[in-house]
Amino acid sequence: MDGIRREYRGRLNVVYVSIDRSDGKESAREYGIVGTPTILLLDSEGNQVNVLRGSLPPSLIERAVEDLLAR
């Protein structure tokens, strides 16, 4: 995700949330996250557009990010 953060700087806001912390547990409940890693893609209004679960190849994550930015 650090590579995604660098590549899309200024176009994408990457936020890490730890489900081991109380605020992270609250976010996990809110978005229905039951395992890690989980990547939520939200639009500029905070609406969930896509969810990626598990260890995925960077190319799949980049494709999902590009789809999000093309909206």
Domain 2-70 has CATH 3.40.30.10: yes
Residue 37 is predicted with a pLDDT of 95
User: How high is the mean pLDDT of the chain?
Assistant: 94
Q: Is the pLDDT at 1 greater than 90, yes or no?
A: no
* Residue 2 CB-half CA count within 13 A: 0
Contacts of 50 (CB under 8 A, 6+ apart): 40, 41, 64, 67, 68
| Alpha-carbon torsion (50, 25, 8, 44), positive or negative | positive
Distances (CA, A) of 62 to 6, 32, 34: 12, 23, 23
Over pLDDT 90: what percentage of the chain? 90
Tell me, rounded to whole angstroms, the distance of Cα 44 from its chain centroid.
13
Q: Where along the chain do its domains lie?
A: 2-70
Q: For residue range 16-67, list pLDDT tens digits in order.
A: 999 999 999 999 999 999 899 999 999 999 999 999 999 999 999 999 999 9
